[in-house]
Amino acid sequence: MLESIVSYGLAVGAVYAMIGITYNVMFTASRAFSFTAGMLGMLGGVLGALFIDRLGLPAIVGLLLVLACGAVMGVITEIVAVRPVLKSIEQHLYVLSTLAFALLIAQFTAIEWGTDAAPFPRLIPIGEGLLDQKFWIPMLACAVTVVGLELLYRKTLIGRAFLAIAEDAYAARALGLPEVRLRLASFALAGMIGSLAGFAGGEMLLAFFGNQSILNFYGFVPVALGGMGNNRGALVAGLLLGLFQQAANFLVGGIFASVAVFVVFIIVLLLRPEGFAGASGARRV
């Protein structure tokens, strides 16, 4: 039982954490909360199955194509659903526009792909070892994402430019940074991370259009608990969420496991609205 809680919990938690990081990357670049993260995850699974299972491409080519499609979806999200409403960000219209765009893509997927879950291919042709690939691939993908992002933000010039935009877009623009292009690049990056989450977790979650709503919600929990824009917080909260959810599956079971997750989520938000790792921001008066 403990082994199942840890393996499944950490694997699902890694997927949640990556979706949370997708939210964060889009949020830091635009200050808009884009509810397309779950959609990107869902597409990662569906497109992976399409490229590898149906079109017969090698797994590595499938992965690269999925990442490319994710990047394109990220860019389209920025142009179609975020940019037009950024001028009046205080009205929070991006909630509506990004959610509508995500639903549009989900419906399109349901029509073209089908409403039934479809199999996701085994990515590496090896037998089941101590820990099956469906568990360690999401964990590995999550680790690569987190380390890669840390290196990008701390060691590269473009990464620092991302941080500058996130800190103060107005000042960054005044310094001559190409704000719009950097924001587009951020959304493309988020698209790749989101689709990688769905691709890596595909063997567990299957290629199913209905995964969108689950990933949208469970991926949001690490952001809320870990603090908005805080990737390390999202990582820790995502893994904890996975472990807690799986433990609840064993301890209370059935539909009550979801209830247990919601209850804990609400309690934490009541006690610490800014999340575990988030700092409560000073409000200008």
Partner 1 sequence: MSITRRKVLAGSAAAAGAASLASGLASPAIAANEPLRIGFLPALTGPSSSTGVAMNRGTLLAVDEINAAGGVNGRKIEIIVRDTQSDATKAVNAIAELTSRQKVAMIWGPLNSGETLAATPLCARAGIPMIHPCWVDTLIDVKKYPMSFRSAPTNEQIGEAANHYVMDVLKAKKVAVIGDNAGYATATVAAYVPLLKKKGGTVVYEGNVDAANPDLKPELLRMRDGGAEAIMPWSVNAGFLARILNTRAAMGWDVPVVGQTTLGSGQTKALLDKPENWAKVYSNNFKNCCYAGDGKLPALAADFRGRIAKAKIDMNDTLLWWIACGYDAPKLIAETVKAAGDSPKDITAYLNKLKNWPGINATLTFTPEQHNGVPDAEVVMCQANSLKDGAFNLAPGYGA
Per CB under 8 A, residues contacting partner 1 are: 1, 4, 8, 12, 115-119, 204-206, 208, 210-211, 214, 246, 249-250, 253-255, 257-258
- Could you report how far apart the first and last alpha carbons of the chain are, in Å? 53
Smallest Cα–Cα separation from 33: which of 210, 180, 219? 219
Residue closer to partner 1 (CB basis): 8 or 33: 8
Contacts of 188 (CB under 8 A, 6+ apart): 71, 72, 74, 75
Residue closer to partner 1 (CB basis): 68 or 257: 257
Residue 126 and residue 118: Cα distance in Å, rounded? 21
* Least distance to partner 1, CB of residue 139, Å: 15
Residue 110 and residue 172: Cα distance in Å, rounded? 41
Smallest Cα–Cα separation from 63: which of 44, 38, 43? 44
* Least distance to partner 1, CB of residue 167, Å: 38
* Least distance to partner 1, CB of residue 229, Å: 28
Residue closer to partner 1 (CB basis): 125 or 254: 254
Query: Contact, 74 vs 191, CB < 8 A?
Result: yes
Residue closer to partner 1 (CB basis): 27 or 208: 208
Residue closer to partner 1 (CB basis): 103 or 206: 206
Q: Phi and psi dihedrals of 207, rounded to 5?
A: -90, 95
Query: Contact, 222 vs 234, CB < 8 A?
Result: yes
In one-letter notation, the amino acid at residue 229 is G
* Least distance to partner 1, CB of residue 52, Å: 14
Residue closer to partner 1 (CB basis): 42 or 182: 42
Residue closer to partner 1 (CB basis): 153 or 217: 217
* Least distance to partner 1, CB of residue 34, Å: 22
Residue 137 and residue 143: Cα distance in Å, rounded? 10
Residue closer to partner 1 (CB basis): 80 or 117: 117
* Least distance to partner 1, CB of residue 246, Å: 7
The DSSP string of 38-67 is: HHHHHHHHHHHIIIIIIS---HHHHHHHHH
Residue 217 and residue 273: Cα distance in Å, rounded? 17
* Least distance to partner 1, CB of residue 97, Å: 26
* Least distance to partner 1, CB of residue 134, Å: 9
Residue 47 and residue 41: Cα distance in Å, rounded? 10
